[in-house]
Amino acid sequence: MTITRIFHGAITPEDIARDLTAYFNRGNYQVQRFGQGDNLAVQIATRQSRSAGGHTALTANIQKVADGISVALGNQVWFGLAASLGMTALSALRNPLSILGRLDDLAQDVESAQLAENVWQVIESTAQKQGTGVMLSERLARTVCPYCLTANVIAADRCVACGAPLGEVQPRTCGHCGFVVRMGETTCPNCHQAL
């Protein structure tokens, strides 16, 4: 399952790609970048030279959208049967002593299993550093008065031009993923969490 999150405000795909590269391109992982400008992909994969654990890779697709970026994190791919978690369970059944030699693999694979979570943490800290988040930014978040079509600032409860109440037309976003949702929606169409 691909998870897409939207960050609103002054942030570019480059900001995210740069920080992901700085954070992950060392130790057990290597980072490759694809694309340019408004459309980047960053692949984080275990190094082939790594001595323990299975091989895995995860790709983040980062795109410029109106007033911000969207980040889609695809499924983490495990290469071959190597996922030592499964192998270890099998060999432990047959020969309990065999598990000793695989503890190192296990430790590495448990670390790799948390890769997606770590990637989101880096992305969120970049977004915060740039002063952005899942809330609509002030620039985009204009409420158009349904009576006189004047643009009002977000959270204005009355139209500056005609004084009509605006509570019903305030734009809002999903607090989990930043997707712009409509009034009356109770579940986010993007991440399916309750609003």
Residue 143 CB, nearest approach to Zn ion (Å): 10
Taking CA atoms, 192 is separated from 94, 135, 179, 188, in Å, by 42, 17, 11, 5
User: Is residue 179 close enough to count as binding Zn ion by CB under 5 A?
Assistant: yes
User: Is residue 61 close enough to count as binding Zn ion by CB under 5 A?
Assistant: no
User: Is residue 140 close enough to count as binding Zn ion by CB under 5 A?
Assistant: no
Q: Which of 161, 165, 167, 187 binds Zn ion (CB under 5 A)?
A: 161
Taking CA atoms, 190 is separated from 60, 62, 135, 180, 194, in Å, by 17, 16, 15, 9, 11
User: Is residue 134 close enough to count as binding Zn ion by CB under 5 A?
Assistant: no
Q: Among 162, 123, 117, which Cα is nearest to 143's? A: 162
Residue type, 98: S
Q: Which two tokens stand for residue 25?
A: 């391109």
Residue 2 CB, nearest approach to Zn ion (Å): 13
User: Is residue 188 close enough to count as binding Zn ion by CB under 5 A?
Assistant: yes
Residue 10 or 162 having the CB closest to Zn ion:
162
User: Is residue 143 close enough to count as binding Zn ion by CB under 5 A?
Assistant: no
Q: Which two tokens stand for residue 52?
A: 């323990």
Q: Which of 110, 148, 153, 155 binds Zn ion (CB under 5 A)?
A: 148
| Piece in contact with Zn ion (CB under 5 A), picked from 76-84, 89-97, 130-138, 162-170 | 162-170
How does DSSP classify residue 81? G
User: Is residue 60 close enough to count as binding Zn ion by CB under 5 A?
Assistant: no
| Piece in contact with Zn ion (CB under 5 A), picked from 22-30, 68-76, 83-91, 173-181 | 173-181
The site that binds Zn ion (CB under 5 A) totals a number of residues, namely: 15
- Give strand pairing partners of 77: 57
User: Is residue 136 close enough to count as binding Zn ion by CB under 5 A?
Assistant: no
DSSP-based three-state secondary structure for 151: strand
Taking CA atoms, 148 is separated from 117, 133, 154, in Å, by 46, 31, 16
User: Is residue 73 close enough to count as binding Zn ion by CB under 5 A?
Assistant: no
Residue 153 CB, nearest approach to Zn ion (Å): 13
Q: What angle do CA 1, 121, 44 make, to 5 degrees?
A: 60
d(CA 164, CA 171): 16
Q: What is the binding site for Zn ion (CB under 5 A)?
A: 145, 147-148, 150, 159, 161-162, 164, 174, 176-177, 179, 188, 190-191
